Amino acid sequence: MLDLNFIREHPDEIKEALSKLNTVAPIDDILSLDVRRRETIKEAERLKAQRNTVSKEIARMKDNDARQRAIVEMRETGERIKELDDELRQIEGELNALLYEVPNMPHPDVPVGPDESANVIVRTWGEPPTFAFQPAPHYELGEKLGIIDFERGVKLSGSRFYVLRNQGARLQRALIAWMIDLHVRQGYSEVYPPFVVREQCMWNTGQMPKFGENLYRDFEDDLWMIPTAEVPVTNLYMDEILEAEQLPINHVAYTPCFRREKMSAGKETRGIKRGHQFDKVEMVKFCTPETSDEELQRLTDNAEEVCRELKLPYRVVQMCTGDLSFTAAIKYDVEIWAAGIREWLEVSSCSSFRDFQARRANIRYRPDPQAKPEFVHTLNGSGLGLPRVMIAVLENYQQENGSVIVPEVLRPYMHGIEVIQ
């Protein structure tokens, strides 16, 4: 959420910045409601001051007729104040609803472009593997090895669901445990949050209102299944004031993630690339505004280290303005090469939201003990997202006989299994 005072003072700057996102934000409507809000507050406060003054005069009046007239007048004034208070609540409700619709402003370092075609590859690591045979896609490998069961996944839950079996399930579990351990060594503290949250948590991190149709929810208890660990972990500190010495706070969490994937309709969905349920390890940072750019680079490198340790070729792509998410001010995607389907697969989006989420969730800190609280900056990035890492491991480490070599760093987590066959 953008600061209302900033919108009021810099409307043209905001409009220009948001125009680069190829989106239309209701800035003029916000300004109009803001004027009505301030005028209503001013009138209500004038009448309340008048009522206080006259009430004191009534107590000193000796003329009974004048006193009764004043009482009637103040009763009418009280009714008008109530009308203004009701009007103010309605205006503020409409104003907050519009503020929630305004996306984050892009960071000055974000390249300007209309869509993903203008994204910039900032670096690459490793070389795609070469084979003396035609590498198979993961969905063929998985079925032949008996580690991915698509038919029974659909039988249980419908399209875009699958079952991992035997060494496939163990490989997934090994990846999760190893990635968490790696990030803990990088300086993150592990948390294990609930997988359902209250609706306000979704608003705080920016999933609502834009992505509401892509979320699963329990209407009876008004709980929402999380689309990413970003939601519960970021909201750990909502409505709190942190001390400067606590920052930066670095958390890592494993959760399953639930998304309807309506927005990916028409895209290639064969295999396990796009599912309604998937596992992910997520990194979340809380820091001061002065250090957020540096923390974003550190966060991105922490995600890249997972790829390097797994010896998976990857590239880092910076999103242009036309391809930024609703909440991100600046974002880098980490993409790994999958040799079987011959695609670069996004396995992490490392984003800085600056104070956008913190303002929604009311997460602040004191620069020093006597200072006025300020909003923190929040960042997050996958570290990494399953099942696309599974795809890359299966396809890049496959052998001609259909077996798959287990990456060396995962073998202790696989009880010494070196080859899936």
Show which residues are catalytic: 259, 274, 346, 349, 388
Chain centroid to CA 112: 22
Alpha carbon distance 275, 248 (integer Å): 33
- Give DSSP secondary structure letters for 375-402: E-EEEEEEEEETTHHHHHHHHHSB-TTS
Residue type, 259: R
Bridge-based pairing of strands 377-385 and 343-354 is: antiparallel
Residue type, 159: S
Alpha carbon distance 394, 385 (integer Å): 15
Residue 200 to residues 141, 209, 223, 361, 381: CA-CA distances in angstroms? 42, 11, 10, 9, 21
Tabulate helix, strand, coil % of the chain (nearest 5). 45, 20, 30
- Contact of 29 with 15, CB cutoff 8 Å: no
Long-range contacts of 357-360 (CB under 8 A, 24+ apart): 357/204, 357/205, 357/206, 357/234, 357/327, 358/286, 359/1, 359/2, 359/3, 360/1, 360/100, 360/203, 360/204, 360/205, 360/206
Helices 166-185, 138-145: axis angle to 10 degrees equals 120
Structure tokens at 48: 């309340």
Q: DSSP assignment, residue 56?
A: H
Looking from the CA of 168 toward its CB, the CA atoms found within 13 Å total 23
Structure tokens at 10: 């810099």
